[in-house]
C-alpha cells in the first residue's frame, strides 16, 4: 500500500490540526500525494481516505474534478496547454499542432521515452498573456511556435 514519507505524514497531521474538519485539508493532501506518488490511483485514494477520514468516493470525486491531479503516470515533463477560448483565439490551436508534430504525440499521450506528456487543460488563468502552458509547475505565456521550439530544446 502506498504511504507518505514520514515528513509528509507529519505535514498532514500539522495541516489537519489547523482546520475544524479533516476534509478541509483534502486539496493539499491530494497535491502532496500527486507529488510524492507521481499520480493518483485507487491505492492512493484508499490511503488518503484512511489518512484523512474522508470517504474514498469523496476523495476520488475531488481528485478527478480538477485537472491538476494526474490520474495516470506522466512523463518527466508534463506539458499542460490551455484550451480555453482566450488561448484558442490567441493561437493555441496552432501551438497544439506544432507540439504534436514535434513530439509525435496527441493530447493525453506520453512520448515512448516517458519524457513528455501532453495534456489539454480548461483554463490556466492567463487570458491576458495567452496562449499559455504549464510545464510541471512553471508557467509559459505569450507562446508562439518559436518559443515552443526554444522551450522544448532546453528540456532536451
List own/partner pairs for 100-104 with CB under 8 A and 24 or more apart: 102/148, 102/149, 102/152, 103/152
Neighbours of 121 (CB within 10 A): 19
Set of cell numbers at residue 4: 507518505
**What order of strands is seen across the sheet that includes strand 116-121?**
116-121, 77-82, 133-135, 138-140
Grid cell, residue 49, equals 481516505
Count CB atoms within 10 A of the CB of residue 7.
8
Mapped onto helix, strand or coil, the DSSP state of residue 98 is helix
Whether 100 has a binding-site annotation, put simply, is no
Q: Could you tell me which residues are annotated as the binding site for [2Fe-2S] cluster? A: 82, 87, 123, 127
Q: Could you tell me which residues are annotated as the binding site? A: 82, 87, 123, 127
Amino acid at each position: 500500500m502506498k504511504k507518505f514519507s514520514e515528513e509528509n505524514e507529519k505535514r498532514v497531521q500539522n495541516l489537519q490540526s489547523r482546520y475544524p474538519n479533516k476534509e478541509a485539508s483534502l486539496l493539499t493532501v491530494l497535491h502532496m500525494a500527486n507529488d510524492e506518488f507521481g499520480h493518483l490511483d485507487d491505492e492512493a485514494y484508499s490511503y488518503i481516505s484512511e489518512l484523512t477520514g474522508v470517504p474514498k468516493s469523496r476523495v476520488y470525486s475531488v481528485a478527478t474534478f480538477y485537472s491538476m491531479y494526474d490520474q495516470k503516470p506522466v512523463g518527466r515533463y508534463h506539458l499542460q496547454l490551455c484550451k480555453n477560448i482566450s488561448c484558442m483565439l490567441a493561437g493555441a490551436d496552432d501551438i497544439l499542432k506544432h507540439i504534436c508534430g514535434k513530439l509525435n504525440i496527441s493530447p493525453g499521450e506520453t512520448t515512448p521515452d516517458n519524457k513528455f506528456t501532453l495534456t489539454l487543460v480548461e483554463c490556466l488563468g492567463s487570458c491576458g498573456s495567452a496562449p499559455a502552458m504549464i510545464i510541471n509547475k512553471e508557467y509559459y505565456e505569450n507562446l508562439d511556435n518559436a518559443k515552443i521550439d526554444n522551450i522544448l530544446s532546453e528540456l532536451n
